[in-house]
Amino acid sequence: MRSQISSSFLRHGHLPIREDDCSYVWQVSAEERCEWVWNTEDCYSNSVIQYTILLFCFFKSENLYLFVGGLALILLWLLYLFLILGTTADNFFYFSFCPALAVMASVMRLSDNIAGVTILAFGNGAPDIFTSLVSRGEGEIIMFTELIGAGVFVTSMIAGSVAIIKPFKVSLKSLMRDACFYIASVCWINYIVWDEMVHFWEAVSFILVYVLFIVVIIIMQIYDTKEEKLKTRIPSIPDPDVLHTYLANIDTSPTIPKIPARRRAFGLRAKLDIAVATEIERSKIRGDLVKWSPEISDYVSARPVGLFREFFYDINPISREDWKNSSGLFKIILIIRSPVMFLLQLFIPVVDHTAEKRGWSKLLNCFQLCVTPTVTLFLLNVWQMTFGNVPIVPLFLVVGTVIGTIVFLTTHVDHVPKYHNIFAFLGFFCAMIIVYLVATEVIAVLQCIGYACSISDAMLGITFLAWGNSIGDLVSNVAIARRGFPRMGYAACFGGPMFNTLLGLGLTYGIITATDPELQTKIRIGDMAPGCLAFLLCSLVASIIYLNITGAIARRSYGGLLYSLYFAFILIQFLSELHVIHPLGTDHRPDL
């Protein structure tokens, strides 16, 4: 009788529930649910906290109000995890990657183009990449629909928001390149996953598609550079008056304001300042005649002087300038995230070239050299290991302390050491570990919510995970558009999601298939995946058609069009989740 119930009971998303699936918990009597969850392997995760056991054993499901209260607390904790994930990725992972990028590019002799579209893109897409890697196994449906669903969200909601905030003229050549590559990538992904079987070479092909995209960017950049050089040459004009006018004005250029050095290496607008500074440098190289926004320079530095004053200033989780320039909502966010920011600032070094002294804080950086390597051992849960007969923890602590002491004795408070960029590598690896661990907790919380509310993994990926990983991009891209750089914010809406999708799928499936003796694996993508792929293609095709019709001008009506597509997408997915309609692309004929 119990097996008959199991075969007929369907979770939202039309996936059958097995008796060893944690979602089967609602088919167990209320009094036995806690014990059943304790004894069911599927209810356990790799996270630090076992959320499903916490919910069903400490917030008893027999008591509706207590259970709903526990579920609400878990939802709030999920929002806080997303805040930590975004804070770590934006203020530590991203900034550690920028100087590390320069060093890596120099050591490996990479051009700026190659480095920018590979290493730096990975820094921006860290949350999506790591949540994909964490989602191996039972969470692969969450992973797949998150990557595709986030692509729909970014190419429609974020791109549309940029157009509504500040209409602008799109670089049609770049748009056609990025959108066409993205369309080809989506079609190739659809072909690969159609039979729900992925081979090793197919997983590698996802990465190779992005490599091909890089090659095309480099070729186009080389061609554009040659064109720019031809334009800067003196024209062979027979009219001496015209030639005289050209020579008299050849050195004139619009005044481009410089971004003043930030007092601290991190803050609410730190990532935005780096993005704007990068765009200004690119425009100087291109020679663009652009009227830059005067609001770039809006404060005067007042960084404290002195070893200890500087130390306490840099570990303060809420800076005076951030508090002064924030609205009421952002002040609440600053207060909520302050405990996490304090720990991150204390243990993770940051190198920011837009900050005073590039973020060099002598006492803080030396303290981080002493302590941070040891802290990473506990984060990775390898602190019990030994190196021969010597415990690894005291060994790391002694070596770190010696290095930190040497740096302290050989450096000055007011002068940045020549090897300061090396701190970026330490910060990068620490931030990467934090992002990975937080992503693990996020996936575990989402699975717990799915078990508790009978929500399909596909719907969790499309909504909670896609929104959580993309909301930071929405805020930063809109802020960039408000400051007068809509083309920069818009360009990130295509290259970024394509990178996350191809690398996320390629690395995840590549690792799984590489460990299989037959170099292949059976995958589950869920019934909502075809609808996600279809709407992603619709968003990309709609952008191409609209911008070609309007002469590459992104008007506010373009934003309205993209908004409409996304709302239709979400509506159809919700109706499918509630079994009102069948998911797009599914065969709902009865089996014969």
How far CA 219 is from CA of 36, 215, 288, in Å, comes to 59, 6, 21
Is residue 434 a contact partner of residue 48, using CB atoms and an 8 Å limit?
no
Tell me, what's the pLDDT at 12? 41
Backbone angles phi, psi at 17, to 5 degrees: -105, 125
Tell me, what's the pLDDT at 251? 43
592 pLDDT higher than 50: no
Q: E strand or H helix at 553, and its extent?
A: strand 553-554
43 pLDDT higher than 70: yes
Tell me, what's the pLDDT at 5? 36
Backbone angles phi, psi at 199, to 5 degrees: -95, 165
Neighbour-count burial for 283-298, b at 16+ CB within 10 Å, e otherwise: beeeeeeeebeeebee
When mean pLDDT is compared over 140-154, 222-236, 482-496, 526-540, the highest value belongs to 526-540
CA distance linking residue 167 with residue 353, whole number of Å = 31
Tell me, what's the pLDDT at 198? 87
For residue 18, what pLDDT band results from cuts at 50, 70 and 90? low
208 pLDDT higher than 60: yes
Q: Higher confidence at residue 58 or residue 473?
A: 58
Tell me, what's the pLDDT at 422? 82
Is residue 428 a contact partner of residue 351, using CB atoms and an 8 Å limit?
no
Beta bridge partners of 198: 521
Q: E strand or H helix at 169, and its extent?
A: strand 168-169
343 pLDDT higher than 50: yes
What number is the average pLDDT over the span 398-402? 92
pTM of the model: 0.73
When mean pLDDT is compared over 90-99, 173-182, 228-237, 473-482, the highest value belongs to 173-182
255 pLDDT higher than 90: no
What number is the average pLDDT over the span 431-458? 83
What number is the average pLDDT over the span 173-201? 89
For residue 285, what pLDDT band results from cuts at 50, 70 and 90? very low
What number is the average pLDDT over the span 527-537? 87
For residue 238, what pLDDT band results from cuts at 50, 70 and 90? very low
Placement of tokens 């021969």 in the chain: 388
CA distance linking residue 275 with residue 270, whole number of Å = 9
Full DSSP string of 35-66: HHHHH-GGG--SSSS-HHHHHHHHTTTTSHHH
All structural domains of the chain, each given as residue ranges with its CATH number in brackets, are 2-231+274-304+352-360+416-577 (1.20.1420.30), 305-351+361-415 (no CATH)
Q: Higher confidence at residue 216 or residue 140?
A: 216
The DSSP call for residue 293 is -
Tell me whether residue 393 is exposed, middle or buried, using C-beta atoms within 10 angstroms of its C-beta: 0 to 12, 13 to 18, 19 or more.
middle
Mean pLDDT of the chain, nearest integer: 76
pLDDT digits (tens, 9 = 90+) for 567-579: 999 999 888 888 7
329 pLDDT higher than 80: no
For residue 94, what pLDDT band results from cuts at 50, 70 and 90? low
13 pLDDT higher than 90: no
457 pLDDT higher than 50: yes
Is residue 543 a contact partner of residue 179, using CB atoms and an 8 Å limit?
yes
Backbone angles phi, psi at 66, to 5 degrees: -65, -40
CA distance linking residue 70 with residue 76, whole number of Å = 10
Q: Higher confidence at residue 93 or residue 171?
A: 171
